[in-house]
Structure 1
Amino acid sequence: MCNIDASSSPPKSQRVEFEKVDTPSTIDTPYLERDLRLRFSISTFPIDKREDVRMTYINMGPFQPKLKKNPSTKYGTQNCRFQFSWFSKFPWLEYSISKDKAFCFPCYIFHDKPSKNEAFVVDGVQNWKYVGCEKTCPFAQHEGGHGSSHNDAMLKWSNLKDPSKHIDKRLNAQSSQQILENRLRLKTSIVATKWLAKQACAFRGHDESVNSLNRGNFIELIKLLATMNEEINKVVLENAPKNAQYIAPKIQKELLNIIANKVRHKIREEVGDAKFCIIVDEALDESHKEQMAIILRYVDCDGFIRERFFEIVNVNETKALTLKNEICNVLAQYNLLVENLRGQGYDGASNMAGE
């Protein structure tokens, strides 16, 4: 028997109990055993438990006990022992006290099918005599070259040890970055929309294709902002995903509608419960559709008379009853009480023509 430091002996707390599973009949209650002689293959556990078993072993790390004196093995006239210093050079090593053999921790963890590394997973290796030899070192031969099954297992072990490399963390990080880029892209479109609306400039261009020399005020303004800021340049126009560029005519109209609603609510707050007048005019737009414009005239809290363009409504016809119903609908929508209405002005002489 070998003398073992009490501090190096695996405590009972390192044994993780699981529900009873179909394992070799020699053990009735399976648990995660540190000594490899008693350790079950991960494939013997139920499928829904294997990842838990694998992660528990990874959290515990390789079993690397520090013995006062390792048992010796006779090779001819030499007595060779496992050396604790080998753990530093080969951190993937595990040592079985009961078998006096070395095993590979990551290869055991990710052992799914028979491979050249079977000895380091099932039987163990004991030829201590050749450890350290440049050409015949069993540990170095086990590692193999780039792309070996051992190195693949090492990579998986490294990734699972680092929580930042877990797929859920990667997806969250990618999602967070995408959210920031989308916000900056949308903010750029909002800034361009606000500036063009304030200056009463046209948005669209005759030719908005990528090869056009003038793609319209909206896109050209975004291009200008991109030249002034490298962060914006990375996320807009051709550098943006095709399905999230935020420059389509529909997007422009949605942004304008949101801004218009904010302005209307601000005007409504400014009117409050005060008395007000309305000025109404109707005309044909470029598409020959009848439109009715409604302007509010009121005295603000500072005593100044304000006239605010409030709403434009499409109407099917310009008959008095139609205009009256639309005006009432707008006033009701913004809770502007008719009893507070103190004046009305209309420019609709054509509505009185004929009969």
Structure 2
Amino acid sequence: MAKCKEDTFVKVGFKNWKKAVEKFQNHERSYAHKLSVASLIAWNKSDGVDVQLNKQMRADQVLAQKALLKILTSLWYLAQQRLAIRGKDATGGNFRALLNLRAEDDDNLKSWLKQKISHTSPEQQNEMLQLMSHKVLRELCTEINKSSATNKSTFGIIIDGTQDCTGQEQEAICIRYVDVNLNVREEFIGLYRMSSTTGLSLCKMLKDVLIRFQLPIENLRAQTYDGASNMSGIYHSCQAEIKKVQPLASYTHCGAHVSHLVVSKAVPSSPFIRDALDCLQELGKLYKGSGRFKNLYLHPDNDDDDNVDGCHNYEDVIKALRTASSEFGTNVASRATGLLKFLKSAKCILGLVAALPIIKCLENFNKALQGNTINISGMLEAAERVKNELQRLRSEETFREVFKDTEEKIEKWKLDPLVIRKHRIPSRYDTGGGESDLSIEGLYRSEYYKVLDSASVNMINYFTSTDIEEQQRLASMLLEGEYHQDLVNKYPELSDSLRLNISFFYSQYQASSVEEYRTINTRLSCQLCRSRAIFQYSSAYEDMAS
């Protein structure tokens, strides 16, 4: 390519090494050398077609990765905040709006969303959500399997059924376990659609779930369901079928269901309390079903939190029902007329006043049982306190106060007094003994006692009809220092050295509940970790010094 090229440096080769430095310097200043150097630099800087295509493909991949990351994080944010993802169509909704908002500050994301394939379709959203949920479940199962220092990570299950908006039966499953820090954990792992709700079908579903999550059924130590016969029956229920596979899976009633079951069986024992509460429920349905009645009932004085009477808004309710019965449409007016007639009766007022202390007592019991840190001893202690409170309410003095409060309200609201409707006794049954000397207060007091007695009996039955007594024996080994050899032999995770450990621990530390012992163990574990760290640090320091 150069006119005055030197064949010595191109074809022939250099031989005159005596004058090498001089010849090299002259050649370095020549046009041929300069042209060759420039051509070499240009060749090194330029890429081939295949290299250029690969670079463009890599740039597109980086753009796609960044855009996909923005899409995933946006979807993760909406799922974490429990916000709706899609709207009426695929182009609307929170997900698309959030992506458009983030695209205003990101030109790459804006250009990516304009493409025909942007990976934002509903099917791909569902796939991403499924991948996220699977990752969460995998981490959860790993944590459960590592929750025990003895490599015997025991756990319990909680199952409750409900129906979705389409009427399909779904079973909600939760896992309850104790982590390495001795904290009680309850984790929801999913909803499973069931075509049949028999005990055998639910047992098969549960075994399939445990297999999928790699949780050995041999480590199952507790099962908790509601009081339905398909769950709690003795022979062919879910708990009975599970016990055939794992006899150590003790069964107890779900604490959150016990108070509801007690109320549902106790209230029907007294007709005047049952009718009053049914009327109150119908009033709530009318309030929810009619927006006009709701606006009519709302009053600036209704939210008086200082008045805990329970009937402080009675006059506003009566006024609203009276207006609705005369001015509203036929359906609402007829319901309002029936409710107004019953609510103005003294019998309804007595039922509401008498039911208030019982419902409050069982409601507090319900709240206590719904705590995720509640244990067997705490549950039984709460049940014992509620039982004592119900026994306290079952006294003539208490009902006399209720009856006196009712009479004051009847006089205040100018209602008809309480009366006993007397029925004429047929002549063939009339023994001539005269009229009964049972007073009005005595008549309603006997029905009031029926509710309290039913609540106390059912509460005892729901707790004693399960395996809770065996679990209480396990807790007593820690709380009272007792040692039950039969239980230690029954559970493989309990060793024979437990007797000495319990004896030593009980002699050094004493508490009144399992929760207090858990706090003591947590504190001891922290001190042990600090001591171990100090020991390791001092040992390392001595090694360096030596």
TM-score (norm 2): 0.34
Of 79, 83, 95, the residue aligned with 1:201 is 83
Match of 1:321 in 2: 200
Find out whether 1:281 has 2:160 as its counterpart: yes
User: Cα RMSD (Å) of the superposition?
Assistant: 3.5
- 1:271 corresponds to: 144
1:254 correspondence with 2:131: no
Query: How much does 1:200 deviate?
Result: 1.1
Contact 2:90/2:122 (<8 A) preserved: no
Query: What secondary structure does 2:104 align onto?
Result: helix
Alpha-carbon offset, residue 289 of structure 1: 3.1
> What's the offset of the Cα at 1:9?
4.9
- 1:203/1:216 contact within 8 Å kept: yes
Using the TM superposition, give the Cα deviation of residue 315 of structure 1 relative to its aligned residue in structure 2, in angstroms.
Answer: 2.3
Distance 2:85 2:70 in 1: 15
In the aligned structure 1, how far is the partner of 2:45 from the partner of 2:227?
Answer: 72
**Structure 2 equivalent of residue 216 of structure 1:** 93
Q: Structure 1, residues 158-211: CA drift from partner, whole Å, max 9, x if none?
A: 9x94674412111211111111111111111110121111111111111333xx
1:348 CA displacement: 7.3
Residue 177, structure 1, aligned to residue 59, structure 2:
yes
Identity across aligned pairs (percent)? Answer: 30
Structure number with the higher helix fraction is 2
Q: Which of the pair has the greater relative contact order for Cα pairs under 8 Å at 6+ separation?
A: 2
Q: What letter matches 2:228 in structure 1?
A: A
* 1:13-28 matches, cutoff 5 A: none
Report the AA paired with residue 268 of structure 1.
Answer: C
Partner of 2:48: 166
Structure 1 CA distance for aligned equivalents of residues 133 and 209 of structure 2: 14
Q: Which amino acid aligns with 2:106?
A: N
Q: Identify the match of residue 242 of structure 1 among 113, 116, 123.
A: 116
CA-CA distance at 1:219 after TM superposition: 1.1
Contact 1:164 1:170 in 2 (8 A): no
**Residues 282 and 348 in structure 1, CA contact (< 8 A), matched pair in contact too:** no
Gaps of 5+ in 1: 13-65, 68-83, 93-156, 210-214
Distance 1:163 1:290 in 2: 68
Q: Give the 3 Å change call, closer, same or farther, for CA 259–4 of structure 1 in structure 2.
A: closer
Amino acid at match of 1:167: V
Change (3 A) 1:351 1:217: farther
Alignment of 1:95-244 (within 5 A): 161=43, 164-209=46-91, 215-235=92-112, 237-238=113-114, 241-243=115-117
Query: Within 1, Cα distance between the matches of 2:100 and 2:227?
Result: 44
| Distance in 2 of aligned mates of 1:183 and 1:269 | 29
Q: Does the Cα contact within 8 Å between 1:280 and 1:345 map onto a contact in 2?
A: yes
The CA distance in 1 between the partners of 2:90 and 2:213, in whole Å, is: 38
**CA deviation digits over 1:54-93, x for unaligned, max 9?**
xxxxxxxxxxxx99xxxxxxxxxxxxxxxx97x89xx89x
Change (3 A) 1:328 1:10: same
Counterpart Cα distance in 1 of 2:72 and 2:227: 37
> C-alpha displacement at 1:331, in angstroms?
0.5
Q: Per the alignment, do residues 162 and 331 of structure 1 end up closer, same or farther by CA in structure 2, a change over 3 Å counting?
A: same
Unaligned runs of 5+ in 2: 14-25, 146-151, 237-546
Q: Does 1:7 align with 2:8?
A: yes
Paired residues in the alignment total 207
CA distance in 1, matches of 2:79, 2:156: 26
Q: Give 1:345 deviation, angstroms.
A: 1.8
- Check the 8 A contact 2:63/2:108 in 1, yes or no: no
1:303 is aligned to 2:182: yes
Structure 1 residue 295, shift from structure 2 partner = 0.6
Match of 2:160, SS?
strand
Over 3 Å counting, the alpha-carbon distance change for 1:350 and 1:169 in structure 2 is: farther
SS in 2 for 1:331: helix
Assess if the C-alpha contact under 8 Å between 1:185 and 1:246 holds in 2.
Answer: no
Query: 1 CA distance for matches of 2:5 and 2:80?
Result: 82
TM-score, reference length from structure 1: 0.51
